[in-house]
Amino acid sequence: MIPQSFIQDLLNRVDIVDVVESYVPLKRAGSNYAARCPFHSEKSPSFTVSQTKQFYHCFGCGAHGTAISFLMEHQGMGFIDAVKDLAGRVGMVVPEPTPDPEHKEKVETAEDLTQVMLKAAQFYKAQLKSSDKAVAYLKNRGLTGEIAARYGLGYAPEGWQNLEAVFPEYRAKSLTEAGLVIASEEGRRYDRFRDRIMFPIHNQRGAVIGFGGRVIDQGEPKYLNSPETPLFEKGRELYGLFQARGAIREAQRVVVVEGYMDVVALGQYDIGYAVATLGTATTPWQVQKLLRQTDNVIYCFDGDAAGRRAAWRALENSLAQLHDGKQVRFLFLPPEHDPDSFVRAHGKETFGKLLDAAPPLSEILVQELTSRVDMRTAEGRAKFLQESRPLVKQVAAPLLSLMLRKQIAELAGVSQAELDRSFDIKVAGRTQAQAPERRESIKPSLLRALVEMLAFQPSLAALADSERLRENADLASSELPQSEIMLLTKVLELCTRENHIRSVAEHFRGSEFELLAHEIETGSLKWESMDQEALQSEFVGAWKKLVERFRHVRITLLLEKSKRQSWTSEEKEQFRRLQHGAANETPG
C-alpha cells in the first residue's frame, strides 16, 4: 500500500491545473479555472478546477476529485498507475510498499482474479461459437453475431466442471474467490454457471469483473449473477456502461433497464445508450455514475407491481444525487412487455417516442404519494405532507426542491411558507431593512460547516476538543446525523495527526465516507473568501454551538427518562452539572 503521507505530499507538489490542462483547455474564472466538463455533454462550462484546494468539481454531473482521480476517470488509469504518472511529473519516486502481508495478498488476489475472469470470458465466448443450441437461442431472440461480439456474449456449457479444461489447477482458491467455482461443505467443487448464456460485466476500463448467466430453457433462477468478490461490487457497477458511453454522449441520455438481455436487445435496434442494474435496487453510487455521463436519465421498468416498487427505490436513491439542470424520468411499459419484447414488437422509433414522453421524477413522486391517501380529507392531506417531508428534504437541487415544495403545498392546501416551517426548511431571504446574514447563508448544517472548515484549513483542528466529541458521538439525531458525527470525528483525528493534509476526500477513497467526503470538500470552497482571523472565529463559534447542542440533547434525554422512572444518584448529579454547562458529562 502506498503510504497516505506520500499521497498527500504528492498532491501538495502537483498542480492540478497543469494536469487537467494537458487534456482539457481551461479558462481563468475568478480565483478558479473553468471548462466544459470532460465527463458529460454540456454546452456551457460547469467544470471548475480550484488551484487553491487542488481539486476539480463539476456542478452539472457531480464529478469530483484530485489530480489522481482525474487521471483515473479521464484516462482510465488504475490508482497506482495514476500515482506513478503524477510522481514522474514532479520528480518523486513512489516508495516501495511497506511489507504488509494482508494488503499484498489483496493486491495479488485482485491482479490474479482479473486474469482469471478474462480467461473465463474467452472460454465462454469460444463455447458459444461451437454450441448450436446457444447460437439458435440468440438468433431466436433476434440477436446478430455482431451484437453478441460487441457485448462479449458467451455460453457456459452443460456439465459440472467444464472450467477444468481452462484452469488445470481447478482447486485453486482464485476460482472460488472469483465466483466461478463453488466449493461444497463436503469439499466437492463445481462450476457456478452451467448451460447458460453468459453476459460479461465490465468495469469502466473494460476489464471483466463478473458475469450474469441466463438459462436457455426452463430453470431457476432465470438469471444467475456473480457473487460479490474483491473485483465486483454490484451496487457500484452497471451492466453495459462500458459499451454505452459513446452512444450516451451522442444521444445525450441513458436508459436504465432491469435485465442484461434488455440492454443487448436494445443495442441490436441501435439503441446503444442502455444499461442495466445488476439484480439489486438502484443505488446512489449507480445514480451518481449515470449523472456523470449525461443530464438525462430514464428508468424503464415493467408496469407491474414489482416494476413500480423498483422504480420507487430508484426514485428514493436519486433524490440526493440530483442537480438543477439534471433530469430523471420514468417509463413504465405495458404489463405484457419488457424492453426486449417491446422494441422487437414495435421498433426503435416507437420506443424512442415513449422515452421522449416519459414523466419526470417530480410527477412520479407526487403521483405515488397522493395515491396512498384520501386527499379529500384533512387526515389524508396531513398524511401526504408527513410522507412527503423526508423525501423533499433529500432533494439536493435547490430549484427542483423549490418547485416540489410549491406543488406539494398547493395540493395539501397550505401555503409554501407553512410547508417550509413544517418541513424545517430554512429559506434564505432578507428584507431591505436587514443587513446581510453572511454566516447563516453559507452554513448547510453545523456538523458539515465544521468538517468543511477543517477540510479547507486542517490547522483549525487545534481549536477543537476531540475528546469531548468522542464522548458525545452517541447523540445522533435528525439534527446531528450519525454519518456526519462519525466523519467529523475521523477528519478531526486526521487533521490532528497529520500536518499537511491536501485532500480529505483522497484520504477516504474506497471507504464508506468517500461520497460524503467529496461533498464536504466541494463545500469547503465557500470559506475561501474569509481571512484567517474570521475563519478561526467562525470555527470556534460553530464548535461552541455543537457543544451546547450536545448539552441540550443530554438534558432532554434525562428529562424523558424521568417521565418513565426515577433517576439514579449519578444521573441526578449529571443533570445538575449539565444545567451548569458541563456538556461533556456522559450518563452514569
**191 strand-pairing partners:** 181
Cα–Cα distances (Å) from 158 to 131, 217, 238, in that order, read: 11, 12, 28
Over residues 217-248, the pLDDT tens digits come to: 888 888 999 999 988 988 889 999 999 988 99
Kindly state whether residues 258 and 355 are assigned to the same domain.
yes
Q: Is the pLDDT of residue 428 over 60?
A: no
Q: Is residue 456 part of a domain?
A: yes
Distance CA(349)–CA(236), nearest Å, equals 31
Judge whether 461 lies within some domain: yes
H-type helices in 167-269, by residue range? 173-177, 241-251, 260-268
What amino acid occupies position 403? M
Q: Does residue 587 sit within a domain? A: no
Q: Are 39 and 73 in contact (CB under 8 A)?
A: yes
Higher pLDDT, 62 or 430: 62
Q: Residue 472: which CATH number? A: 1.10.860.10
**Other Cβ atoms closer than 10 A to 152:** 20
Q: Cα Rg for the chain, rounded, in angstroms?
A: 27
Model confidence at 586: pLDDT above 80: no
Calpha distance 510→517 (Å, rounded): 11
Alpha helix segments (H runs only) across 130-212: 132-140, 145-150, 173-177
Buried b (16+ CB within 10 A) or exposed e, 119-149: bbbebbbebbeebeebbebbeeeebeeebbe
Domain count, the chain: 5
pLDDT of residue 583: 44
Residues 472, 549 within the same domain: yes
Whether residue 434 lies inside any domain: the answer is no
Strand partners, 319: none
DSSP, collapsed to helix, strand or coil, labels residue 469 as helix
Q: What CA–CA distance (Å, rounded) separates 503 from 69?
A: 11
Q: What pLDDT does residue 154 have?
A: 97
Residue 376 lies in a domain: yes
Q: Which residue carries 453572511 as its cell?
A: 438
Residues 447 and 571 in one domain: yes
316 against 324, higher pLDDT: 316
Give the bridge partners for 299, in sequence order. Answer: 256, 330
Of 274, 317, 271, nearest to 298 by C-alpha is 274
Give yes or no: residues 454 and 553 share one domain. yes
Share of the chain above pLDDT 90, in %: 43
Same domain, residue pair 73 and 112 = no
Query: How far is it, in rounded angstroms, from Cα 341 to Cα 102?
Result: 48
Give me the residues paired with residue 317 across strands.
none
> Given 216, 232, 248, which residue is the final one in a domain?
232
* pLDDT of 441: 35
Q: Identify the pLDDT of residue 335.
A: 86
Mapping DSSP to helix (H, G, I), strand (E, B) and coil, where does residue 489 land? helix
218 bridge partner residues: none
**HSE-CB for 580 with a 13 A CA cutoff:** 6
Which CATH number do you get for residue 397? 1.20.50.20
Domain shared by 242 and 196, yes or no: no
Would you say 258 and 302 are in contact if contact means Cβ atoms under 8 Å apart?
yes
Q: Which of 205, 232, 259 is the last residue of a domain?
A: 232
Contact between 294 and 304 (Cβ < 8 Å): no
The residue among 459 and 275 whose pLDDT is bigger is 275
If asked whether residues 500 and 568 sit together in one domain, one would say yes
Mean pLDDT of 536-555: 85
Closest CA relative to residue 271, chosen from 295, 244, 299: 244
Cβ of 158: how many Cβ atoms within 10 Å? Answer: 13
Q: Do residue 174 and residue 263 come from a single domain? A: no
Residue 533 lies in a domain: yes
Q: Which of 336, 359, 382 marks a domain boundary?
A: 359
Least confident window among 43-47, 345-349, 372-376, 579-583: 579-583
The one-character DSSP state at 58 is E
Pairing mode, if any, of strands 27-29 and 32-35? antiparallel
pLDDT classification of 199: cutoffs 50, 70, 90: very high
Grid cell of 392 as nine digits: 423533499
Task: Confirm whether 431 is domain-assigned.
Answer: no
In this predicted structure, what is the pLDDT of residue 49? Answer: 92
Q: 330 and 251, same structural domain?
A: yes
pLDDT of residue 200: 97
At 104, the pLDDT band (50, 70, 90 cuts) reads low
The answer to whether 332 and 301 are in contact (CB under 8 A) is: yes
Dig out the grid coordinates for 374 from the structure: 384520501
| Same structural domain, 18 and 146 | no
Residue whose cell numbers read 485482485: 110
**pLDDT exceeds 90 at position 544:** no
- Dist CA 340 CA 265 (whole Å): 5
Nearest 10 degrees: CA dihedral of 290, 293, 297, 298?
A: -90
Q: What is the pLDDT, as a whole number, of residue 581? A: 61
CATH assignment of the domain containing 268: 3.40.1360.10
| pLDDT tens figures, 112-158 | 788 999 999 999 999 999 999 999 999 999 999 999 999 999 999 99
Domain that holds residue 380: 367-422
Q: What is the CATH number of the domain that holds 122?
A: 3.90.980.10
Determine the number of helices (DSSP H) and then strands (DSSP E) in the chain: 25, 15
Both 343 and 273 in one domain: the answer is yes
Q: Is the dihedral of CA 468, 469, 470, 473 positive or negative?
A: positive
CA dihedral 160, 162, 166, 172 (to 10 degrees): 0
| Residues β-bridged to residue 488 | none
Residues 24 and 119 occupy one common structural domain: no
What is the rounded distance in angstroms from the CA atom of residue 300 to the CA atom of residue 265? 14
Looking up residue 74, the CATH number of its domain turns out to be: 3.90.580.10
Q: What torsion, rounded to 10 degrees, do the Cα atoms 143, 146, 150, 152 define?
A: 70
Q: What per-residue confidence (pLDDT) applies to 577?
A: 77
Question: What mean pLDDT value characterizes the chain?
Answer: 85
**Among residues 255, 257, 238, which one has the least CA distance to residue 338?**
257
Answer yes or no: are the C-beta atoms of 503 and 66 closer than 8 Å.
yes
Average pLDDT over residues 360-372: 96
User: Using CA atoms, how far apart are residues 493 and 4, in angstroms rounded to an integer?
Assistant: 14
Task: Write down the pLDDT at residue 240.
Answer: 95
Measured at the alpha carbon of residue 586, what is the angle toward residues 584 and 588, in degrees to the nearest 5?
A: 145
Q: How confident is the model at residue 251 (pLDDT cuts 50, 70, 90)?
A: very high
Cα-based distances in Å from 580 to 240, 549, 550, 551, 573:
61, 14, 13, 10, 11
In the block, residue with C-alpha cell 418547485? 403
Q: Is residue 96 part of a domain?
A: no
* Amino acid at position 132, single letter: D
